[in-house]
Structure 1
Amino acid sequence: MIGLPGLAETLKVGSTPTGVPFTFLDVKSGQVTGMMVDVVKAVGEKAGFTAEVKSTDWVSLIPALTSGRIDIISAAMSITDARKKVVDFSDPIFPYGEGLVMRKDDPTQYTQSLKETAGKTIGVQQGTRYLDDLKAMSGIGTIKVYENIADIMRDVQLGRIAVGFADQPIMAYQIGQGKFPDLQMSKSYKQQFVAPLGLAINKDHPELLARINKALAEMKQSGELDALIAKWNLD
């Protein structure tokens, strides 16, 4: 619940358990952690609130925010015009875009048109802008929708689908951690849907948004935000 201006308060923050390294479930602690969790906690320290992070599925984030079950979304959620019609976003935190994951033994040189996927299956996460982007393309393969990115990567690894079209930083991080040894990011595919990440809040809380943006500005000026990004090997 949003408290009175200037008073210390606890705000519920929705973060996904599968968005490594931005937000993900730490199996040892049972808590959601990640770069965006660190960011919202640091913002809270400066803006006068304690961030109580709640594990929330991706497709439930905006409904949970607009219904009041959470007060802030801190996840790998990019700032888009469509989302800005429903919620308010903070100033940009991190540049973000799509990537194409494929098997290492796939010789295909994929391009922005994705016409090379014709006759194949493309995996994409539900509730993301990438699903809309794929639907708007012509001459591409069959689109298969998944609940999360890990499942997309698993099916590419197993050969069930040819490629995955999803968040480049998350997939590259997973590959770098050695979790999908048979996969690689397509080097020929060039990003075309880049948008920054931001914290999302309800539209009827401009005072909270101002406090968040003031805290973010301080973190950018001091280098604290850059340090958090570097901590998660995203610099």
Structure 2
Amino acid sequence: MFKNLVMAAAVTMACAGSALAAPVLTVGTEPTFQPFEFVDARTKDFVGYDMDMIRAAAKHMGYQVKFVNMGFDGLIPALMTNNIDAAAAGMTITAERKKKVDFTRPVYQSTQVILVNKSDAGSVKSEKDLKGKNLCAQIGTVGAEFGRKIPGAKVKAFNTLPDTILELNNRGCTAVIADKPVVEYFLKQRGGRNMVEVQTGYPKEEMAFAVRKGNKKLLDAFNKALAAMDKSGETAKIHQKWFSTAK
């Protein structure tokens, strides 16, 4: 009898635990975009600024996060077809993207810069010096978009940013156009002894998380959580962790 009571209690507790489990927020990401999102080589966990930010926001919202690894150019289609709930991938807010998805309040401000081999640093001082050149950029990014607007330039598009840098190293292109913090993180963490950053006149841009168009409930929950994180200083701590400067 006692054994049966113990078993019944265990089943009841298991059911209660299951009922109390937080709902899952499925988040798509492209984890080769350091320091925003990447896979820790030792733990195999998804880490980075975006990963910490969306985990913290989800906690405020009462969700647990499940990350899905996918190509950057597949994130918006995945949102539109309801395969993921949100995208966290260093995604810049643009007018074209806003036609397809909704964006949260900004989580980071960036700009595009140029990465070149040191041997070309003397001849490439800004984006104006890239006319007629072969350029590298990640598929679907603002960097690729800007590259296509440079007169006579030909843009080689790659699935990941590391692929663009490898092509630059192999002299397959004159320059990579990418987000400033990503280029600077590469130069700092990976050495980049043969490459240098070149500043541009490109405007500031804001990055945010994306949700399915019209999903006002989730969008409002995200914005409320992100506002609370800004107010409490949680955002500043995460920013300090990944960029060494408070937001």
For 1:160, give the aligned amino acid: G
What's 1:108 paired with?
Answer: 123
Q: Post-superposition, which runs of at least 4 consecutive aligned residues in structure 1 deviate over 4 A? A: none
Code of the residue aligned with 1:44 in structure 2: it is A
Match of 2:11 in 1: none
Within a 5 Å distance, the mapping from 1:25-44 to structure 2 comes to: 25-44=39-58
1:18 aligns with 2:32: yes
Q: Could you tell me which residue of structure 2 aligns to residue 3 of structure 1? A: none
Query: Residues 134 and 153 of structure 2 are in contact (CA less than 8 Å); yes or no, is this contact kept in structure 1?
Result: yes
The percent identity for this pair of structures is: 27
Compute the RMSD of aligned alpha carbons. 1.7
* Counterpart contact for 2:31–2:89, Cα < 8 Å: no
Q: List aligned pairs for 1:176-195, cutoff 5 A.
A: 176-186=188-198, 189-195=199-205
Q: Secondary structure at the match of 2:207?
A: coil
Q: Deviations over 1:143-196 (max 9, x none)?
A: 22222111111122222211111122111101101343211101xx32414211
Q: Deviations over 1:189-218 (max 9, x none)?
A: 324142111111112321111111011111
Which region of structure 1 is more displaced relative to structure 2, 127-136 or 12-21? Answer: 127-136
Normalised to the residue count of structure 1, the TM-score between the two structures is 0.89
- Structure of higher CA gyration radius: 2
Between the aligned partners of 1:100 and 1:225, the Cα distance in structure 2 is 28
Distance of 1:111 and 1:61 partners within structure 2: 31
Return the offset for 1:110. Answer: 2.4
**Residues 131 and 150 in structure 2, CA contact (< 8 A), matched pair in contact too:** no
Task: Structure 1 unaligned segments of length 5 or more: list them.
Answer: 1-6
Give the partner amino acid of 1:98: Q
Contact 1:153 1:180 (8 Å CA) reproduced: no
**What does 1:68-217 correspond to in 2, within 5 Å?**
68-106=82-120, 107-112=122-127, 114=128, 116-138=129-151, 140-186=152-198, 189-217=199-227
Query: Could you tell me which amino acid in structure 1 is paired with residue 222 of structure 2?
Result: I
The answer (yes or no) to whether the contact 1:97–1:168 under 8 Å persists in 2 is yes
How many residues of Structure 1 are paired with residues of Structure 2 in the alignment? 224
Corresponding residue to 2:235 among 211, 225, 232: 225
If each structure's helix is expressed as a fraction of its own residues, which one has the higher value?
A: 2
* Structure 2 residue ranges without an equivalent (≥5): 1-20
The 1:119–1:66 alpha-carbon spacing in structure 2 relative to 1, beyond 3 Å, is closer
**Partner of 2:108: helix, strand, or coil?**
coil
TM-score, reference length from structure 2 = 0.85
- In structure 2, the CA distance between the partners of 1:210 and 1:19, relative to structure 1 (3 Å rule), is same
SS in 2 for 1:39: helix
Alpha-carbon separation, structure 2, partners of 1:86 and 1:119: 32
2:126–2:201 CA contact under 8 A, matched in 1? no
Residue of structure 2 in register with 1:4 after alignment: none
Task: Decide which moves more: 215-224 or 141-150.
Answer: 141-150
* SS across alignment from 1:108: coil
* Counterparts of 1:101 and 1:71, CA distance in 2: 33
